Every structure is written in structure tokens, then in C-alpha cells.
Amino acid sequence: MTTLTRFRRTVRLVLILVGSVGLAGCGAATPTTYPVQGKVQVQGGDVTRLAGGHVEVVQPNDLRIAARAEIQDDGSFALETIHAGKPLSGVRPGDYQVRIVLSDEDRGSRRRRGQVLAPRFTQYKTSGLTLQAPTDGTVCLTVSTR
């Protein structure tokens, strides 16, 4: 085998390896998501106190599959999934556990919001809130102060 032949083979091998690494780095395909809009209702309380907080959902069997949405003044929300650093409207199909994450802009707002939401709703395991995607219609999440 001549030096020129070895050189060509080496160059081909390097190009194949570089091309393979480049293709592998292109990222995974964008997952299928389904729109999920909903509304948080507070029994015996004022939902506007939750505005700026978030609804967060996670699949119990794979905690990497999650989504979140900001709670609006009227309690409405629209879930988004982050994939490859970009937001996707909706969530991947499946069953989800839900929690409410309060805004913690300042100590006073935390104290006021804490009076409108029982602490159990801030944890997936204790909230008792669930949803399934895809879903028909608007998801209603009812929370309470106790």
C-alpha cells in the first residue's frame, strides 16, 4: 500500500467520523405536543393572588417530561414544554402530576399568596392535582386555602 493510498483512507475515515459527530449533534426530533389550556380556581379565595405564579406538570414515571405555565390574573394558563432550549406550545401525551408554584417576588407577596393557597398544592405528591394530555376542553384545577 502506498503512502498516497494510506493518506486517502485516513482522510476518508476522518471525514466520516467528523460527519457522524456533526449529524449526531443536530439534536433530537421535536416531540409531538398537545395544547393544554386551563384555569385555576381557589375555593374560598381570590385567584388574582396567584397571578404571576406557575402551574407546573410532570410525568410521574419520567420526571424529565415536564411543562409549565404562568398563571394570569383570571387564573387562566397555557402549558409550554421546553425542548432543546426552546418553548413548545402544549405538552407531550401522557398523565401528569400538577403543582402550583407561588411567585416569590418579595416577602410580602409570598406571605399574602401563602394565605390563599394551602401548602399541599405546592408539591406534586401532595397536591392531588392531575391532568392527562391530550385533553378535551379546558382543564380546571381547583385549589383551596386549607
Per residue of the chain (146 residues), give pLDDT as tens: 565 455 455 545 444 544 444 444 555 689 999 999 999 999 988 999 899 999 999 999 999 999 999 999 999 999 999 998 899 999 999 999 999 998 876 566 556 555 788 999 999 999 999 999 999 899 999 999 88
Helix, strand or coil, per DSSP, at residue 94: strand
How confident is the model at residue 11, as a pLDDT? Answer: 46
For 106-133, what is each residue's pLDDT tens digit?
Answer: 566 556 555 788 999 999 999 999 999 9
3-state per-residue secondary structure call for 97-132:
EEEEECCCCCHHHHHHHHCCCCHHHHCHHHHCEEEE
**Helices in 3-82 by DSSP H: which ranges?**
3-24
| Domain range list for the chain | 37-144
